[in-house]
A and B are shown apart, each in its own frame.
Chain A
Amino acid sequence: MAKYILHNALRFLLLMAAVSVVVFTLVSLSPVDPVQANVGQAALLSMSPEKRAQLDAYWGVGTPLPERYLSWASALLQGDMGTSLRYNAPVAQVIAARAANSLALMAIAWVASGVIGFALGVLAGVRRGSLADKLVKGYCFVLAASPTFWIGLLFLMVFAVGLGWFPLGFSVPVGKAAADVTLLDALHHIALPAITLSVVGVANVALHTREKTIDVMESDYVRFARARGMSTWQVARRHGLRNLVLPAITLQFAQISEIFGGSVLVEQVFSYPGLGQAAVTAGLGGDVALLAGIALVSAALVFGGNLAANVLYGVVDPRMRRRGGAR
């Protein structure tokens, strides 16, 4: 067990180190001049050469990339992610403030798309070729081909503009003091983005679950169980579900990366103040520190998901438990 934890901790550190190098290199490659981005064009033109040189030194213009990386990474290790240019606050603070919004949105969509997608996938796979299967398949193919943000726009048009059931955007009512915002307000605002994200997420989960279900239903043990006189749904419940748990876990945790990507788009459509929207604002506004910070957080989230899936394997699968839980 200790070996397992150590092994994964090492993997995590290695991956984060690599991701941080890639992320830092990418954001540093940007043609945006950090001094100009931070003080603005007008101030830059009227600036004395001495001041300019001082700012150049402060923002590390002319310092070689590895050196800048090392100073950024060492600050990062001490918990200092730098200062966000657009939000004028420490990056860690900006991320923390928005993570709650994003995590709530993603958690709802993650659970909903997982449960509904799994149910639809099993239904379609067990009754392969039936009308239900065709409907599920049709839904999935169309949804898999639709851009997430367009579905968001569509829902916005129909449910917010047309029917007026949901607000047009943001996470709380406009013009209401933060202290007066009730849980109901928050739920009302999160509903439409969460539904959008779930509806899109269902397609992927259902399609993969359907494939796995078909594999299971065509296996020898299912044939044997049927030969013993069990009904289709009995077989599906007793033999199918057990064998579908592992692929479902893999799929569900692999889905985290997709849901994060989708949340970036959905938050943009619904002006929902989360990490995704902050990433877009940071990218468009040349806010290097915040962009790098959010990229690191997203990578940590995805890694956490994969690790959780591996741990759950050991819990769920008796074969792996016997081997000592470590794989």
Chain B
Amino acid sequence: MSAVTTFHRPRARRMANRRATLLACAASALLLTCVVGAGLACFDAATATDFTQKNLAPSLAHPFGTDWMGRDMLTRTLAGLSTSVLVGLIAAVASSLIALALGAAAALGGRRADAVVSWLVDLMMGVPHIVLLILISFALGKGFWGVTVGVALTHWPSLTRVIRAEILQCKQAGFVGAARQLGVGRVRIALRHMLPYVLPQFLVGLVLMFPHAILHEAAVTFLGFGLPPEQPAIGIILSESMTYLSAGAWWLALFPGLALIGVVMLFDVAGSSLRKLVDPHSAQE
């Protein structure tokens, strides 16, 4: 090693970029798993009421305080977060599958299919998200499925565009042309060449859909169109807290909100670092 001349010594010792990114991705995934696990574990504790302990400010016994029914806000928040992640999971998976199907149809189905899909995207983008969510939830009679289906049906447009562009790019690629010249069937090309090509973008898009899905779930629930009040959910907690705000119960709104932001940002970190890892353009960042 001593034979190598170093012209520019790095100013500070630092970890290799890719390893740091991988670490960030893994750590955020692990943390999220822990939050969901903890939330599922204290699902029963979250609804346990204790009227001797009501309206307590944060203390060591109740780090997030207690609400008007004496429920511990920490367990309620954790359970609410795991519900949010569950809704987000179902909605994001469904929504990204819709995006995959429509994006593929637009790229491979000829000009007419492309026009139909892009018109559908325009239609979806034409109504504000929240209004559309309210409408869908209203149509389905609110509740868990109202909000989940609503979020699933409204989050595909941007990913559809990405997947369409990816497949179009792949269609132009030399290896697809070569396969076609070799007489490989269309289905086989789609499965062997195009699917692996779009899969990374698809997975990244799926993970990055979570933050939106979770925030919209909370918003719709907050407005009263989502999860029912007896279920632990961040939206419910925050809309209940509004009644007690003027009485000075600040902890009812502060901590659950911060916890929600934390989860959303963790998903964001996981998704963006995953993108850096799979996208060759930013592999060195």
Contact = CB atoms under 8 A, between A and B. Distances in A.
Contacts of A161: 245-246, 248
B123 interface: yes
B246 A168 contact: yes
Given A145-B211, A147-B257, A157-B253, A31 B264 contact: no
Interface stretch (B66-74, B181-189, B218-226): B218-226
B197 interface: no
B261 interface: yes
A265 to B, nearest CB: 6
B128 interface: yes
B135 A302 contact: no
A298 B248 CA distance: 36
Given A15-B123, A153-B253, A265 B246 contact: no
A232 B238 CA distance: 46
Contacts of B245: 153, 156-157, 161
Q: How large is the interface on A (under 10, 10 to 19, 20 to 34, 35 or more residues)?
A: 35 or more
Interface stretch (B12-20, B36-44, B89-97, B136-144): B136-144
B166 interface: no
A19 B122 CA distance: 11
Given A22-B123, A261-B130, A302-B127, A284 B224 contact: yes
Contact of A141 (B134, B139, B219, B265): B265
Interface string A161-197: 1000000100000000000000000000000000000
B224 A257 contact: no
Nearest to A271: B242
A302 B128 contact: yes
Nearest to A284: B224
A303 interface: yes
A216 interface: no
Contacts of B168: none
Q: Is the interface of B mostly helix, strand, loop or mixed?
A: helix
Contacts of B261: 142, 145-147, 150
A268 interface: yes
A294 interface: yes
Contacts of A227: none
A120 interface: no
B257 A268 contact: no
B254 interface: yes
Given A156-B245, A260-B131, A261-B131, A27 B219 contact: no
A30 interface: yes
Contacts of B268: 141, 144-145
A111 interface: no
B104 interface: no
21 contacts: A15-B126, A22-B123, A29-B139, A32-B141, A144-B268, A145-B211, A147-B218, A147-B238, A149-B238, A150-B253, A153-B241, A153-B257, A261-B130, A265-B223, A279-B131, A280-B134, A283-B137, A295-B131, A295-B135, A298-B131, A299-B126
Interface of A: 15, 18-19, 22-23, 25-32, 141-142, 144-150, 153-154, 156-157, 161, 168, 257-258, 260-262, 264-265, 268-269, 276, 279-280, 283-284, 291, 294-295, 298-299, 302-303
Q: Which 6 A-B residue pairings sit nearest by Cβ, starting from the closest?
A: A261-B130, A150-B257, A29-B139, A145-B264, A26-B139, A260-B128
Interface of B: 122-123, 125-132, 134-141, 211, 215, 218-219, 222-225, 238, 241-242, 245-246, 248, 250, 253-254, 257, 260-261, 264-265, 268
